[in-house]
Amino acid sequence: MKLPAKTEKVIALLKKEYPAAKIALDFSTPMELLVATILSAQSTDVTVNKVTPAIFSKYKNVHAYARADLKELEQEIYSTGFYHNKAKNIIGAAKLIIEQYHGKIPATMDEILELPGVARKTGNIVLYNAYGVVAGIPVDTHVRRLSQRLGLTRNNDPEKIEQDLMKLVPRKLWGKFSYLLIDHGRKICDAKKPKCPACILNKLCPSYKKFFPIR
């Protein structure tokens, strides 16, 4: 089966299996989403969602983040890991948003990438979930792992993987596609012990034979 047809089948099966697939981070404003996404780097959504209620309660808007004390914010986000860089980036991003974008998170990829701590994955997540802007496909560890196992890409670099997927996935599904893979990765396609026999994609997956050579 050629890749475009295979990808279409993969999407159809995943949409049926995970009709409610969506972002797992809790947020209510674009700034909260930006902060939560920055915190999620090298951390889990569960951990971030435990930390952010107190953060969001204390820092009500972009101006509050811009005025935040670095050491205090570091301690408040400590459990998410890499807290020094994350705190520095959150404060720096808030200041730049105020200085250059009138206090509003920019709604284009070129502009949002100017913010400290924001690469394409974070940019895609914020743009899609905050503004409904479809600029690309967020590639996290689940998306990378599943797209490689399914044979949708041979690349390891997230930006190259994104480019490969953008060629295969219809643009209108770019935002949704990541969450379909993420949900499937969490439920079935584990990094160390994938549950291949129970996988709805196993007939389409070249990695099935690798993990279960005798059937």
Residues annotated catalytic, as ranges: 121, 140
Cα atoms in the Cβ-side hemisphere of radius 13 Å centred on 36: 27
The residue assigned the tokens 């993420």 is 182
* Cα separation, 21 vs 35, whole angstroms: 21
Q: How far is CA 105 from CA 11, 55, 64, 113, in A?
A: 31, 18, 14, 11
DSSP assignment of 143-159? HHHHHHHTTS----SHH
